[in-house]
Amino acid sequence: MADQFPRHTPATIRAPFANYSHGVEVPPNARLLVCSGQLGIALDDQIPDGAEAQTDLIFQNIEKILASAAMDLSHIVRINAYVSHRDHLAGYMRARDNYVSEPPPASTLMIVSGFTREEFVVEIEVLAARRE
């Protein structure tokens, strides 16, 4: 795809643990879209159970945010994800891998003590870029 940016995963350091790149280069004259952290809550205020279902909903909502800026999931250059317990890592990663393009973006995954409401177990923020 013409909008892909160079990925940097040098052979001189350990390969990524999962589906992400160590670095993504955003060249001059690219538009950046910074998305706030998204939680797994639907338009009707329903919150699905579990990390995988919440991650699916979050990425569906991120797709809509990106579309409003004439972008799509392939324009994501960085993901920051937060889960509230190690038990949620596998569900998050299964769902995330359905939405991450190749080559994958840079990514950070952190375990946090919680979110604004106990029902939330995942929060995701992304940085997207598109060449003009």
Distance CA 115, CA 37 (A): 11
Residue 10 tokens read as 């040098």
Residues in the chain: 132
Task: Kindly tell me if the per-residue pLDDT of 33 is higher than 90.
Answer: yes
Cα dihedral 86, 80, 56, 75 in deg (nearest 10): -150
Residue 113 pLDDT > 70, yes or no? yes
Average pLDDT, the chain: 93
3-state secondary structure labels for all residues of the chain: CCCCCCEECCCCCCCCCCCCECEECCCCCEEEEECCCEECCCCCCCCCCCHHHHHHHHHHHHHHHHHHCCCCHHHEEEEEEEECCHHHHHHHHHHHHCCCCCCCCEEEEEECCCCCCCCCCEEEEEEEEEEC
Does residue 25 register a pLDDT over 90?
no
Task: State yes or no: pLDDT of 1 exceeds 50.
Answer: no
Instruction: Check residue 19 and give its pLDDT.
Output: 86
Average pLDDT rounded to a whole number, residues 95-108: 93
What pLDDT is stored for residue 17 in this prediction?
84
For the segment 31-58, the average pLDDT, to the nearest whole number, is 97
**Cα distance between residue 60 and residue 80, in whole Å:** 16
Taken in order of first residue, the domains within the chain and their CATH numbers are 31-131 (3.30.1330.40)
How sure is the predictor about 110, in pLDDT bands with cuts at 50, 70 and 90? very high
User: Between 16 and 61, where is the model more confident?
Assistant: 61
Question: Can you give the pLDDT at residue 2?
Answer: 38
Q: Are 29 and 132 in contact (CB under 8 A)?
A: yes
CA angle 63, 66, 71 (to 5 degrees): 115
Whole-model pTM over 0.95: no
pLDDT above 90 coverage of the chain, percent: 76
